[in-house]
Amino acid sequence: MDIDRRALIAFLGGPAAVASMSPEAKADALEHYMAFQLNQSKAAEAKQKFPTAAEVEAQIETRGNRRGVGNLFLSSTGHVSKLPPMPEKPTLADFFNLRFKATSNHVLQSANLAVKNHMSEEIVLACLLHDTVQELIKVDHGWWGAQLYEPYVSEKVAFAIRYHQALRFYEDKAAGYEYPDLYRNMFGEDYKPEPYIDATYKMVRAHKWYMEPRLVTVNDLYAFEPGVNPTLEQFTDIIGRNFKQPKEGLGFDGSPVAHMWRSIAMPDHPL
């Protein structure tokens, strides 16, 4: 595939955004860009072709890793890079800046869209946090993510994070959510969510807080949006009002999820 350097840099948000990216993030971004280009040219064809669920399943043994593994534990360049040390008492912002390298742009774009769409602060925060646990683990990321944040956010924010994972498989056109092509690509065009996801959807659909996770799916982005690179500073006040930062630092406050934060901070520990 021919790569137009200028178009690529614009796609990534301009020269300053590119300069601030780690080599790993650049490799990931290049991969995103190539997938995006490929999708563009594919979409131009009369009929877009998606894999079947059986074809997706057949890929399992072609990989050296499980698809559910967290980004921090994976390499797209053949080797992982050394991570910068974390401060003694790490804050949410430290995790964004030093560990959430693969997910931060996506969640910042979602939170930015939520602000543009005049969402409540709780929805904006849920959007900002909704996929960040994928640095640790991707499989069942709604549940893992809600658990990671539960001690520090309101019940509603945790509810929104937990259940966005199930709701994304079910359309709600009235709320502005259509099933994205991204999932036809990732799961196969004939993919049927498992019974536990279906049961969860039915429970949430009838719940008084249904719109909380639904609005996360509405403000989620299903393609890398070229040239949009919001910064964490835009959300400092919302975080300050809605995220209870522990004074000992995330990972050292003795909470039931402290080990999850430590695992993100120090993923090179062998045991």
Torsion angle of the four alpha carbons 225, 229, 231, 234, in this order, in degrees rounded to the nearest 10: -70
Encode 205-261 in three state secondary structure: HCCCCCHHHHHHHHHCCCCCCCCCCCCHHHHHHHHHHHCCCCCCCCCCCCCCCHHHH
Between 225 and 248, name the residue whose CB sits nearer to Fe ion: 225
Using CB under 5 A, which residues numbered 244 to 263 contact Fe ion? Answer: none
- Specify the stretch interacting with Fe ion by CB under 5 A; choose among 40-48, 55-63, 219-227, 233-241: 219-227
Between 165 and 242, name the residue whose CB sits nearer to Fe ion: 165
Cβ-contact 69, 101 below 8 angstroms: no
Distance in angstroms (rounded) separating the CA atoms of residues 84 and 87: 10
CB of 164 to Fe ion, least distance (A): 6
CB of 110 to Fe ion, least distance (A): 6
Q: What's at 3, amino acid-wise?
A: I
Binding of Fe ion at residue 131 (CB under 5 A)? yes
CA 255 vs CA 11, 249, 251, 252, 262: distances in Å: 40, 11, 8, 8, 11
Binding of Fe ion at residue 135 (CB under 5 A)? no
Name the token pair of 111. Answer: 């939170």
Between 24 and 131, name the residue whose CB sits nearer to Fe ion: 131
CB of 242 to Fe ion, least distance (A): 19
Torsion angle of the four alpha carbons 194, 199, 203, 206, in this order, in degrees rounded to the nearest 10: 90
Between 135 and 220, name the residue whose CB sits nearer to Fe ion: 220
Binding of Fe ion at residue 220 (CB under 5 A)? yes
Between 86 and 158, name the residue whose CB sits nearer to Fe ion: 158
CB of 15 to Fe ion, least distance (A): 26
CB of 246 to Fe ion, least distance (A): 25
Residue 215 CB neighbour total at 10 angstroms? 25
Q: Site map for Fe ion, 32-71, x if CB under 5 A?
A: ----------------------------------------
Can you give the binding site for Fe ion, defined by CB under 5 A?
131, 220
